[in-house]
Amino acid sequence: MARKKTIKTSVKQRLRAARKGKGKRKAARLKPVKARAKADAKAAKGALPQWTKAEIEEAFRRFAAANPEPNTELQHTSPFTLLVSVVLSAQATDAGVNKATPALFALADTPEKMARLGEAKVRDLIKTIGLFRTKAKNVIALSRDLVEKHGGQVPRDREALQALPGVGRKTANVVLNVAFGEPTIAVDTHIFRVGNRTGLAVGKTPHDVELKLMDVVPEKYLLHAHHWLILHGRYTCVARRPLCEKCIIADLCKWPGKTVNAAGSESANSE
């Protein structure tokens, strides 16, 4: 019991010191490839230690300090152009979508104009994006629905959004968060990986991870949590070889594939 108290106290002291900018956090080093694969398997099983409330608070404090106003990388000028961009981004990169959308939105930046533009023209304008045939069909169908059922406006309502062609829970969450400032978390491949790998939000499906994150992320960080985690997964906690040595939450993360443990010291079996 006394030992438990000492460990808890030392984590708290370290978090306090980090908050005050005292002390240098150790850079994480990666274990060999085999050990990393084992670590991923362990994380996927949900066998990592739990994060404490103080650690979660500290992780998001650091994300917020590093990037106070994160935003989507999809170029858009309105809820409608955002909605279309998110629909186009399924199984495609934001950069790829951003290359195609300026020409599309120059011709059609409202549901009325998009419906008038027609499927063949939309298909031609987005042909550099994967699954462009299905996406063109959906963009036209959802534009017509917006005109006919929502007065040409994007609804601020999850159910109504998810009833639109090509719009699933993830897309609805992005639109609610970015266009309407709702504290939602859209779990894409990056957030799914970060949640499971770090032990922050373990789940077998994106929906499981979303619910877990909604439960553990402190309320004051919920609005931006979605972008912090996406950007973290896209640029730091990348799939094949996470950049743990540059990671601002390395000492908090529970992934056993790196050599800095939760107490900020290097584990015994370092590379």
Interface with ligand SF4 (CB under 6 A), residue from 62, 135, 212, 258: 258
CA dist., res. 257 & res. 135, Å (int): 38
Interface with ligand SF4 (CB under 6 A), residue from 176, 247, 259, 261: 247
**Bridge partners for 266 per DSSP:** 260
Q: Which is nearer to ligand SF4, 179 or 247 (CB)?
A: 247
Q: Does residue 51 interact with ligand SF4 by CB under 6 A? A: no
Residues 225-244 touching ligand SF4, rule: CB under 6 A, are: 236-237, 242-244
Task: Please give the distance of CA 227 from its chain centroid, rounded to a whole number.
Answer: 5
**Which amino acid would we find at residue 80?**
F
State in angstroms the smallest separation of the CB of 207 from ligand SF4: 22
Beta carbons within 8 Å of 122's beta carbon, 6+ residues apart: 104, 108, 114, 136, 139, 140
Could you tell me the end-to-end alpha-carbon distance of the chain, in angstroms, rounded to an integer?
Answer: 33
204: left (phi over 0), alpha (psi -120 to 50) or beta: alpha
Q: Which is nearer to ligand SF4, 48 or 90 (CB)?
A: 48
Instruction: Please give the positions annotated as active site.
Output: 170, 188
**Which amino acid would we find at residue 91?**
Q
State in angstroms the smallest separation of the CB of 66 from ligand SF4: 13
**Which amino acid would we find at residue 16?**
R
Interface with ligand SF4 (CB under 6 A), residue from 11, 15, 18, 28: 28
Q: Which positions lie near ligand SF4, rule CB under 6 A?
A: 28, 197-198, 236-237, 242-244, 247, 249-250, 253, 255, 258
